[in-house]
Structures are given as structure tokens and as C-alpha cells.
A and B are shown apart, each in its own frame.
Chain A
Amino acid sequence: MDKAMVPLLILLTSVLGYGVARRLWQVDRASLARAWHRAMELLGCWALVYLANLFVGATFILLIRLLTDHFVSLYVLGSIMLILWSVLQALVFYFLWRERQ
């Protein structure tokens, strides 16, 4: 039951949220599908930005190690801050891209 708690909570608040949105904003199922697509685009944008940060970061660290006496651990790329900064970057890039459309 403990493990099912979070998925059930998300299901419940999603259904409630959709119900409220239908009443307040008169949205239909097509709007929900479009919102899902946008959410996936945004998430995809974050994933690509995060992977790019990991790749550039790893290359940068290996170059620092190769060209200088300074040691930087690859473990710094596991920082939660990299994920959070990547979210901000992805939001900006995504809306910049949407702006162009």
C-alpha cells in the first residue's frame, strides 16, 4: 500500500485538476492532449539540455585534467544543482523556440 500511495495521489490530483480546469476554463480533451504534447516537448528539451551539459562538462573536466595539474572529479556532474540549472536553461530555450513559431 505504501508504494502505491504516490501513484494514487498523483492520479487523484490529476483527475481533480482536470475536473477543475474543465469547469473553470471550459477545456476539452483535445486541449488536454495538446497540453500533454507541450509537457513532453518541455521534458524532452530538458533531457537534451541535461545530456548536453553532462557531455560538455565531462569533456571540460577531462581537458582540465589533461592540460593542467588541477584535479576535478567527474562526480561533480552528479550534482543536483546541475539538474536544477538545466531545468532553468531548458525552460528558457523552450520558450525561446516557441517564441519563434
Chain B
Amino acid sequence: MPVGNQQSMPINSDSRWQRLLRLVGLLSVLCVLLGAYTPLPNLLARALAVSSRVQPADAIVVLGASVHRDGTLSDQSLRRTVQGILLYRQGLAPLLVLSGTSYEGSPVESEVRAHLARQLGIPAKAILLEREAQTTAEEASNIARTLRQHKVQRVLLVSDALHLARAVPRFEREGLTVLPVAADGLPADTDSPDKRLSLLIHALREAVGRWLYRWGG
């Protein structure tokens, strides 16, 4: 009998593990199916995304994305920069703040953006650069410090619709009045399985980021 007991213990233990692994595996399959073939990611993105409020302000702040080692801006960075330049050219604010640091040996993103802005007719004296910040939180505190010196209170904050959900509260915490401007529109109409999965991952990442910012300050 003792031998039987000794044999049955690991088997029961393994059965529990088997059940757990099967359950987690099944949940993973369900998550992928729900993410790819239902509008769940679209609903989640719509709930998280921030809509644009384009009004006159004291400055336009364009948040960093990334730049390649050869000095070309990433799609995201280029989209945000062009949006900022368009807002400036519409006369919505007299200052254009371009953010973006260097990534693993790449040129400084904000400098590449400033070069583009000048080529597109933005006067050099209207451009301010934030070169050091590595995270959205650092961008908020560094840029707010610079803008206080220019007596700026109200800013048009340019980023992606999902990233704005995290960035707007962080800039507001610095005492600025923030008008969000989404450079990519609401990514809610995607209907191909691949794009839906990609949207789901993006939305979940931003949701976690937002939670971390709220929790960690």
C-alpha cells in the first residue's frame, strides 16, 4: 500500500499540471481567435484612444518615436512631425517643440525632425528641441520645464491616438493644459486578422503602460 501511495502522488501532481497547461493553451487559442476574427481589438482601441481637439495654443509638442541609423525617420515619427508642421502652418501656435533622442547610435531624432521642419518652411527661431528624454514621462517633465521658461500654458500634443491616452495625463500632471492631436487617426476600422492582432497587441501595451504610469508616477 505504501508503494501505491508513493506512485499515485506524482501522477496526481502531473494531472494538475496537465489540466493547467491545457487550460492555458486553450485560453491562448481563444485569445488569438477573438483577437483576429472579432471586433474586440477595435473596441478596445476605441475605448483607449484619445480624440483630437485642435484649437489655438501656445505651443505644439511633437512626441518622439524613433529614427533609423541612416538618419531616416520611422513612419510613426515622420507622421507625427508632418502633423506638427501642418498645425504650425495653420497658425495654431507660434512654437514647435520637437522631441526625440538618439537610439543605439542613430542620429538625434529631434535634430532630424528640425532639419525637415526648416526645409518645409518653419523658421528656426520657432523650433525648440528636446534631445535627452528616453521615455514619455521624461519628455513630459523636460518639455514642461522648457515651456515654463517660455510662459507656455496651453499645448497641442501630437502623438498616436493610443499613445496619447498615456501621454496626455502625464503632461497634465506637469501643469500644462493639453489639447491632444492624433497623428494617425483612430485605428479602429481595421478588419483584417493580422492587423487586428497587431492592434490588440498595441492596445494592450498602451493599456499596461498607462497602468504603470498611474501606479508608478
Contacts and interface: CB of A to CB of B under 8 A. Distances in A.
A6 interface: yes
Contact of B21 (A6, A44, A74): A44
Interface stretch (B24-32, B39-47, B121-129, B144-152): B24-32
Interface of B: 10, 14, 17-18, 20-29, 134, 191-193, 201, 205, 209
Interface stretch (A11-19, A22-30, A34-42): A34-42
B28 A44 contact: yes
B14 A101 contact: yes
B38 to A, nearest CB: 12
Which secondary structure characterizes the binding site on chain B?
Answer: helix
Contact of B23 (A42, A44, A101): A44
Contacts of B134: 71, 73
A43 B29 contact: yes
Given A78-B205, A101-B14, A40 B193 contact: no
Contact of A44 (B24, B201, B209): B24
Interface residues of A, number: 20
Contacts of B10: 100
Given A45-B21, A78-B201, 4 more contacts: A40-B29, A43-B29, A44-B26, A47-B28
Nearest to A71: B134
